[in-house]
């Protein structure tokens, strides 16, 4: 069963790459299907003891929330009022991942000083991303909250390296960079363009980073 789920996720990732590149309407269905299938795979792994049950169920729930966020986000192209709802699901998902990764690192005996250092690096990374965003005043609070969960997620990913939980590290760190690129694509600052990352390269970079992160969780669950 796990092998079939893995094949399905790989097939969806390949299909999604072409669909996203062509901006086809199918992306509205394939984009949320990827984290949803990965969430089901992780849930299966938790129920069959392939992964620690509590960790697996929390990760599965966070992935399903992420899938919901993707689905609502795709619909927000026609209904802009749904964009804050998509952000809400994404933020809750990110906080779940971040809290889990940090708790697992604490339980593994990672020193407090390491956690502080990881948190400071997360804050620095979020600050560097925010410098290149041009956010409307009405959305700034929402973006601040989103950056807060991104900091927690990034710090948890870094701490997971010291805990030896490398799939969590891959997901936490790569998802931070994926989200950062999504923000740069959604709220570009015309006065501070990124010369090394033109708009045409942002989407391919998001897809590569995001799918690599998802595959890390697939490997963990199987």
Give the three-state DSSP class for 79. coil
* pLDDT values of the chain reduced to their tens digit, one per residue, 222 residues: 556 666 776 777 777 766 776 666 777 788 888 889 889 889 988 888 888 999 999 999 999 999 999 889 888 877 878 888 888 899 999 999 999 999 999 999 999 999 999 999 999 999 988 888 888 887 788 888 989 999 999 999 999 999 999 999 999 999 999 988 888 887 777 777 776 777 778 888 888 898 888 888 888 887
Q: What is the pTM of this model?
A: 0.87
> Under a CB-based contact definition with an 8 Å cutoff, are residues 205 and 181 in contact?
yes
Q: Which of 169, 55, 163, 168 is nearest to 111 (CA)?
A: 163
DSSP string, 174-214: HHHHHHHHHHHHHSB-TTS--TTS-HHHHHHHHHHHHHHHH
CB 50 within 8 A of CB 222: yes
Cβ proximity of 58 and 100 under 8 Å: yes
């Amino acid at each position: 069963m796990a092998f079939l789920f893995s094949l399905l996720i790989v097939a969806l990732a390949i299909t999604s790459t072409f669909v996203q590149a062509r901006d086809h309407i199918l992306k509205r269905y394939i984009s949320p299907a990827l984290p949803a299938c990965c969430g089901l795979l992780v849930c299966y792994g938790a129920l069959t003891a392939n992964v620690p049950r509590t960790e697996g169920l929390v990760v599965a729930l966070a992935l399903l929330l992420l899938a919901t966020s993707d689905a609502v986000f795709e619909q927000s192209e026609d209904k802009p009022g749904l964009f804050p709802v998509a952000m809400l699901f994404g933020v809750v998902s990110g906080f779940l991942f971040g809290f889990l990764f940090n708790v697992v690192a604490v339980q593994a005996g990672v020193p407090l000083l390491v956690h502080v250092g990881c948190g400071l690096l997360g804050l620095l990374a979020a600050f560097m991303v925010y410098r290149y965003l041009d956010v409307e005043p009405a959305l700034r609070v929402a973006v601040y909250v989103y950056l807060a969960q991104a900091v927690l997620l990034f710090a948890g990913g870094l701490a997971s390296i010291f805990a030896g939980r490398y799939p969590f590290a891959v997901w936490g760190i790569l998802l931070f960079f994926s989200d950062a690129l999504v923000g740069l694509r959604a709220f570009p600052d015309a006065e501070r363009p990124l010369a090394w990352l033109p708009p045409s390269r942002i989407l391919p970079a998001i897809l590569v980073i995001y799918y690599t992160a998802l595959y890390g969780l697939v490997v963990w669950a199987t």
